[in-house]
Amino acid sequence: MAEAAAWPEWPLPAALCPLTNFCFYSSMYLSGLFLAALSLHRYLGVAFPLRFQGRRRPGRALAVSAVIW
pLDDT at residue 27 is higher than 80? yes
Quick one: DSSP state of residue 11? -
CA neighbor of 20 nearest in space, from 2, 5, 38: 2
Q: Please, which pLDDT band fits residue 29 given cuts at 50, 70 and 90?
A: very high
d(CA 46, CA 53): 10
Q: Is there a contact between 64 and 37 (Cβ–Cβ < 8 Å)?
A: yes
One-letter amino acid for residue 57 of the chain: R
Which span out of 7-11, 35-39, 50-54, 57-61 was modeled with the highest average pLDDT? 35-39
Give me the mean pLDDT over the 29-35 stretch: 91
* Helix, strand, coil percentages for the chain (3-state, nearest 5): 75, 0, 25
